Structure 1
Amino acid sequence: MRSRRIILVAGVATARAVVTLVLTLAFWAAAPAALGWMPTTVMTASMSPAIEAGDIVVSRPVPREALLPGRVVLATDPDRGDRLRLHRVAQISAEGELVTKGDANPAADSTPLHPDAVLGVGVLRVPVIGLPIVWVRTGQVAPLAVVAAGFALCLALALRRGVDDGPDEPSPPSEGAPPTRRAVRARPTRARLFPRGLGFAVALATAAVAVSTPAAASFSKESAASGTVTAGRVTGPSALGCYNDGGAVVTWAYEGWEPRSFDLLVDGRVAIADIPPWFRAARVPDDGSYSLFRTDRVTVRTNVGEQWSTGSDEGVAVGGVLFGFGRPFCR
């Protein structure tokens, strides 16, 4: 009986710690909006490793003279007016425009930013709290369901009145004085304050984080970098596919000039270089970095000669699985 009591107390305490951590992250992600600052959910990994997809970055307005190289700025994307761009200022052009670049991108953004398009400078990063928003917008049901079920379980335990939450025995009344109703009811009323307050805080934090604005700055295409040629002359791989064989294996087709080699890229970064030109499949490297809670995009690049290359327009999604120990699997 005593061991069950210890397990119950430990379970309730752990669940409350998890819920408190989530609420704290949600608070820091949403509270700055009261100051006029803008919380933004990062939708891609173009700023990795400094900022990952699912992080929430809070930006605040700054004067134009504060827009200096090295600052992470949030701006209306000039290439797509319905999106926001969250990238680092690489340099300032002679015309006073901001040349931006994602830390994970191989080249600067094709269109510079006018200072008037900047909404703010990133001042606070709250990690992972925006992942459910990313999953909802990208249709990733599995990780969303797993995390939602886990949090619901923690919330149910946290709201439970554990064995330590029960009312203490009321103090014995002084001799000759009957116990008052106020004294008998005071302790149970206080015991109910935590579950009610916690439930209200969860609802408030969920609503606050849900209204954060998504920033969907995409990776730069490889064909935009110096040393590449147009796809009209060098054809990128096509018909990319993926199957699981102890891990993710990516396949592709190719029709064009005889290539020197192929490269396999994960989120714009070369994972395998100089794949032989007769290969039409490659295993995604198992480096232990893949996560159940993140989707990585795999593309293939054609190399013709020493300088000419172009990447595939399409990609395949890979990610980790539960108990997969960081191995990549097709999504």
Structure 2
Amino acid sequence: MRVGRTIVVAMVAAARAAITMVLALGFWAAAPVVLGWSPTTVMTASMTPAIDAGDVVVAKPADRTQMVPGRVLLARDPDWPDRLRLHRLVEVTDDGSFITKGDANPSADTSPLHPDAALGIGVLRVPWVGLPIVWLRTGEIAPLAATAVGFLLCLSIALRRGEDEEGDDNAPPPVTTTAGDTPAVPTTRRARRAAGIVAAVALTSGLAATPAWAALGEDTWAFARVDAGRVTAPWAIACANNGNSGAVISWTYDGWQPRSFDLLVDGEVVAQNLSPSTRSTRVPTDRYYALLSSYRVTVRVNVAERWSAESSESVAIGGRLFILGRPYCR
């Protein structure tokens, strides 16, 4: 087998694998419609890095006994009549209303949900399938066009026979016509296959085009068993005095790979962009710490580009009179 033919065969195999993966993801996103379940495209990245905008989430109808704290609800959003909300149920009030919250959001949603607004519970996440829908709705033409061109290129390569450019020696001779004949234009098998693949992808996009602005959580299943998670805050916050260096804050963290850490004193950032491997740092001395006052120190982890979590634990520091208010553990 010549090198050129080997490259062609490899390209055809890779393109067919890519098309097969797209169709498989599309199948899992669209097939639940037959069961009466609702696929929706997540429009916001409120669970990055576990859940990204462009994932398709499938919700199945459920009765109120299944809508318990910890489950993910798909519901009509009372704040936005034209939108759906896909958030975790965190509390059922005395009057039966649902309090929901995105896992990465700092607080619960401002508007509770009436039980009748709930459409179902999230049971399946299919990654990436809805990205073209997100790009279309947000006006991001460049990635949308690049994806379309890439898909069509893969499709054209995948429909090749995998032979070299000289063709098959056993192939039948081409059909010739005389000057007076009108050549027929048959519908080839490749054209039918291409039309079928494009139709399948278009159908999948249509079935999954309903958008939802929300986050998923750890009780939601995902395609290929990719589970969601939550941004874990630092814990075991401790303070130790280190001679003339003052207060040294330490912490423990075992969540998602962090981007950086911040140190806060009474909610004000006093040290930021600490290394992801840092687990202790000295409280900076560039501000005054009064002798008789107490200051609350917390640690915040930053994950990905937009999400963070601040420790619920804190330690107290104060100043010393004879060293101009240098921070020390109280």
Give 1:114 shift. Answer: 1.2
The alignment status of 1:60 with 2:60, answered yes or no, reads: yes
TM-score, normalised with respect to structure 1: 0.58
| CA distance 1:17–1:119, shift in 2 (3 Å) | same
Query: Contact 2:23–2:200 (CA<8 Å) still a contact in 1?
Result: no
* Distance in 1 between residues matched to 2:120 and 2:43, nearest whole Å: 18
Structure 1 residue aligned with 2:324: none
Structure 1 residue aligned with 2:200: 204
Structure 2 residue aligned with 1:129: 129
Partner of 2:147, secondary structure, is helix
Instruction: Describe how 1:186-205 pairs up with structure 2 within 5 A.
Output: 193=189, 196-205=192-201
Structure 1 residue aligned with 2:120: 120
Partner of 1:87, secondary structure, is strand
Structure 2 residue aligned with 1:155: 155
The aligned amino acid for 1:27 is: F
* Distance in 2 between residues matched to 1:13 and 1:124, nearest whole Å: 29
Structure 2 residue aligned with 1:93: 93
Q: Deviations for 1:115-153, whole angstroms, at most 9, x for unmatched residues? A: 110111111110011001001101112222222222221
Unaligned stretches of 5+ in structure 1?
Answer: 171-191, 219-258, 266-273, 278-286, 290-295, 299-331
Give 1:262 shift. Answer: 9.2
Structure 2 residue aligned with 1:47: 47
The aligned amino acid for 2:16 is: R
**Superposition RMSD on alpha carbons, in Å?**
3.8
Unaligned stretches of 5+ in structure 2?
Answer: 172-187, 216-266, 274-282, 288-301, 308-330
Q: Deviations for 1:292-331, whole angstroms, at most 9, x for unmatched residues? A: xxxx669xxxxxxxxxxxxxxxxxxxxxxxxxxxxxxxxx
Partner of 1:74, secondary structure, is strand
| CA distance 1:139–1:263, shift in 2 (3 Å) | farther
Query: Contact 2:42–2:56 (CA<8 Å) still a contact in 1?
Result: yes
* Distance in 1 between residues matched to 2:67 and 2:50, nearest whole Å: 19
Higher alpha-carbon Rg: 2
Structure 2 residue aligned with 1:32: 32
Query: Contact 2:58–2:123 (CA<8 Å) still a contact in 1?
Result: yes
Which has the higher mean CA deviation after the structures are superposed, 126-135 or 146-155? 146-155
Give 1:104 shift. Answer: 1.1
Instruction: Describe how 1:113-262 pairs up with structure 2 within 5 A.
Output: 113-163=113-163, 169=170, 193=189, 196-211=192-207, 212-217=209-214
* Distance in 2 between residues matched to 1:114 and 1:264, nearest whole Å: 41
Query: Contact 1:36–1:60 (CA<8 Å) still a contact in 2?
Result: yes
* Distance in 2 between residues matched to 1:263 and 1:216, nearest whole Å: 33
Give 1:205 shift. Answer: 2.4
Give 1:163 shift. Answer: 1.1
* Distance in 1 between residues matched to 2:206 and 2:94, nearest whole Å: 40
The aligned amino acid for 2:195 is: G
* Distance in 1 between residues matched to 2:48 and 2:108, nearest whole Å: 15
Query: Contact 1:23–1:202 (CA<8 Å) still a contact in 2?
Result: no
The aligned amino acid for 1:137 is: R
The aligned amino acid for 1:110 is: T
TM-score, normalised with respect to structure 2: 0.58
Identity of aligned residues (%): 56
Partner of 2:74, secondary structure, is strand
* Distance in 2 between residues matched to 1:29 and 1:99, nearest whole Å: 28
Partner of 2:113, secondary structure, is coil
Point out 4+ residue stretches in structure 1 off by more than 6 angstroms. Answer: 262-265
Q: Deviations for 1:6-60, whole angstroms, at most 9, x for unmatched residues? A: 0000000100000110011011111111221111000001233443210000111
Structure 2 residue aligned with 1:104: 104
Structure 2 residue aligned with 1:176: none
